[in-house]
Amino acid sequence: MQHDYPDPVEMDAMGFAVMVDDRLGHLAVTHDGTITWDQLQAIKNLIWGVDARAIEVYPVQPSVVNNTQMRHLWRLGKDDFAPDLLGRYEAKQTLEQRFRSAWPDP
C-alpha cells in the first residue's frame, strides 16, 4: 500500500520497542509475551496522553496475523464508539444501541 505521509516513528517506551503512526492512530508494541494490561495502558498514556481512548481488535479467525510478539492499539476519535462500562455517555451508533439494550437500567 502506498501512502503520502511519513513512516511510523519507532521509539522505546518503558523498555518496549514501539512504533507509532499518529495519522492512522496506530500503536504497535513489541514484547516478550509477558506485557500486562497496565503496561499497555501506561504506554498508551505516555504516547497519546491520559485522555486518549484506544482499543485492541480481535479479528475473525481467517483474518488473524500472529507472526510476532506484538500488541496493536488503535486510538479512538472523540466520537468513535467504545462500550461505556461506567454509563457516562449517550448512545450514538448501532453497536452502542445494542450494547445498551443488552444491559438495560434496572
Residue 27 lies in a domain: yes
Residue 41 lies in a domain: yes
pLDDT at position 75, please? 92
**DSSP state string for 6-53:** PPPEEEEETTEEEEEETTTTEEEEE-SS---HHHHHHHHHHHH-TT-E
Q: Distance between CA atoms of 43 and 1, rounded to whole angstroms?
A: 27
Residue 57 lies in a domain: yes
User: Which whole-number Å values give the CA distances from 18 to 13, 31, 33, 77, in the listed order?
Assistant: 6, 9, 15, 21
Residue 18 lies in a domain: yes
Q: Distance between CA atoms of 21 and 28, rounded to whole angstroms?
A: 9
Q: With 70 as the cut, is the pLDDT of residue 3 above it? A: no
Number of domains in the chain: 1
pLDDT at position 57, please? 87
Residue 97 lies in a domain: no
What is the domain range of residue 40? Answer: 9-80
pLDDT in tens, 48-100: 999 999 999 888 899 888 888 899 999 988 778 777 777 776 655 456 666 66
Q: 23 and 67 in contact (C-beta within 8 Å)?
A: no
Residue 104 lies in a domain: no
Handedness of CA 66, 27, 76, 87 (dihedral sign): positive
Report the pLDDT averaged over residues 4-16. 83
Nearest in space to 16 (alpha carbons), one of 49, 33, 53: 33
Question: pTM (2 decimals)?
Answer: 0.73
